[in-house]
Amino acid sequence: MLTNRQLFLDHLAQTSDSPLALQIERASGVYMYGENDKRYLDLISGIGVSNIGHCHPKVVQAIQEQSSKYMHLMVYGEFIQTPQVRLAAQLIETLPQNLDAVYLVNSGSEATEGALKLAKRYTGRREIISCKNAYHGSSHGALSIMGNEFFKQAFRPLLPGIKHIGYNNPEDLSLITEQTAAVVVETIQGEAGIRVADKDYMQALRQRCNYTGTLLILDEIQCGFGRTGTFWAFEQYGITPDILLTAKGMGGGMPIGAFISSKEIMHTLSHNPVLGHITTFGGHPVSCVAASACIEVILEEKLTEHVSRKADLFKKHFNHPGIKEIRNAGLMMAAEFESYPVLKKIIDHAITKGILTDWFLFCDNSMRIAPPLIITDEEIIEACAVLSGC
Ligand SMILES: Cc1ncc(COP(=O)(O)O)c(C=O)c1O
């Protein structure tokens, strides 16, 4: 009989020649358990997903209850489904007043797609601006606004009318004009290797968008849901987007995303043409109850309150001699090493010692550290001791 490893390599589409290929049997809290019950401390949260830890009991219970009531009933937007309306109401509670219309989708990429269409439709303009080294997803529209040529060039033609500006570069803001439908920006850049913009820059960006009538789309797919120490990262900048993107950590481990805007803007998707964005599974009821439970856990367990202290603990105790710099926004961290080969050796060694880290799509000399927010001080200190010796 073929092993799971052989089946994986032979019959699952591969995305690289060197997958991690860890076989995980179960996961709970900050740990994943592999073959022979080998335990791995998860320092990357499935790439920014498991903010409240794996298999949080509240999420599991919500999923069990909802799946015995109903699962898929009808395409998004037709039926009144309690899990969807409850989740929308909870999301809006966490947001400023202008963000009061939630379009539920399946993933981060779909949230990006929906938002791009909404911005074109609302403004009647075609030009979209995004940042160099930006990652907003892998579907055609999201790929078009990616700020990295290496991953795009094989897939042209992509969307026309795309321009890129330097993240945190005030001089480039003049490229935003009355032609620009939307500027899409990660509030904290993730795949660029954790780049944190200045408050002044973000406020100037907001002002420039107001001046030119351009919609500001903030992508909080990776940096939202408590990751940086506030529920939404933009809260730390004193600005509000016109459209907000979320996914990843939103579902407590289940697939779901959303683009969120004002009723006035969102209304344009319902006419001329009707059904401006269609999704069969968007806002799946089982994912919605998981997301509702996830919001409750973040708020009730006050997970954001400890983020900054825990990040400081990492910075204090992670003392590998090869570290050049540590960048972070809360528990969204990057430890930079001399080169990819140097870092890769450390990451591989750490895995043998039961610690899972990673690097970044556009920054392969930096180690990704983004543990579940529930990680304890002791677990951080222990992980740093192991990593520092790798
Ligand atoms: C900032 C950001 N935007 C969008 C996406 C795309 O999300 P998904 O993989 O769910 O399509 C990601 C995924 O890594 C992301 O980090």
pLDDT digits (tens, 9 = 90+) for 4-19: 999 999 999 999 999 9
Give the pLDDT score at 343. 97
Query: Of the candidates 389, 344, 294, which has an alpha carbon nearest to the alpha carbon of residue 57?
Result: 294
CA 293 to ligand 1 centroid distance, Å: 21
HEC profile for the chain? CCCHHHHHHHHCCCCCCCCCCCCEEEEEECEEEEHHHCEEEECCHHHHCCCCCECCHHHHHHHHHHHHHCCCCCCCCCCCCHHHHHHHHHHHHCCCCCCCEEEEECCHHHHHHHHHHHHHHHHCCCEEEEECCCCCCCCHHHHHCCCCHHHHHHHCCCCCCEEEECCCCHHHHHHCCCCEEEEEEECEECCCCCEECCHHHHHHHHHHHHHHCCEEEEECCCCCCCCCCCCCHHHHHCCCCCEEEECHHHHCCCCCEEEEECHHHHHHHHCCCCCCCCCCCCCCHHHHHHHHHHHHHHHHCCHHHHHHHHHHHHHHHCCCCCCCEEEEECCEEEEECCCHHHHHHHHHHHHHCCEECEEECCEEEEEEECCCCCCCHHHHHHHHHHHHCC
> How does the average pLDDT of the chain come out, rounded?
98
Give the pLDDT score at 372. 98
363 lines ligand 1 (CB under 6 A): no
CA 250 to ligand 1 centroid distance, Å: 12
247 lines ligand 1 (CB under 6 A): yes
Quick check: 357 and 387 in contact, CB under 8 A? yes
What is the percent of the chain where pLDDT is above 90?
99
108 lines ligand 1 (CB under 6 A): yes
Give the pLDDT score at 383. 98
Give the pLDDT band of residue 114 (cuts 50, 70, 90). very high
What gap in Å lies between CA 309 and CA 93, rounded to an integer?
26
186 lines ligand 1 (CB under 6 A): yes
Give the pLDDT band of residue 360 (cuts 50, 70, 90). very high
pLDDT digits (tens, 9 = 90+) for 196-248: 999 999 999 999 999 999 999 999 999 999 999 999 999 999 999 999 999 99
| Beta strand 180-186 pairing with 215-219 | parallel
Query: Of the candidates 240, 372, 262, which has an alpha carbon nearest to the alpha carbon of residue 310?
Result: 372
Give the pLDDT score at 252. 98
What gap in Å lies between CA 32 and CA 12, rounded to an integer?
22
Phi, psi of 367 (to 5 degrees): -85, 130
Give the pLDDT band of residue 158 (cuts 50, 70, 90). very high
Q: Which atom of ligand 1 is nearest to the CA of 191?
A: 16
Return the structure tokens found at 294. 């996830």
Q: Which atom of ligand 1 is nearest to the CA of 223?
A: 1
* DSSP conformation class of 248: G
Give the pLDDT score at 353. 97
Give the pLDDT score at 201. 98
Give the pLDDT score at 86. 98
What is the b/e burial string over 138-153, where b = at least 16 CB atoms within 10 angstroms of the residue's CB?
A: eeebbbbbbbbeeeee
Quick check: 363 and 191 in contact, CB under 8 A? yes
Give the pLDDT band of residue 263 (cuts 50, 70, 90). very high
Give the pLDDT band of residue 376 (cuts 50, 70, 90). very high
What gap in Å lies between CA 369 and CA 154, rounded to an integer?
30
107 lines ligand 1 (CB under 6 A): yes
137 lines ligand 1 (CB under 6 A): yes
136 lines ligand 1 (CB under 6 A): yes
Give the pLDDT band of residue 316 (cuts 50, 70, 90). very high
Quick check: 218 and 185 in contact, CB under 8 A? yes
- Say what the pTM is: 0.98
pLDDT digits (tens, 9 = 90+) for 56-82: 999 999 999 999 999 999 999 999 999
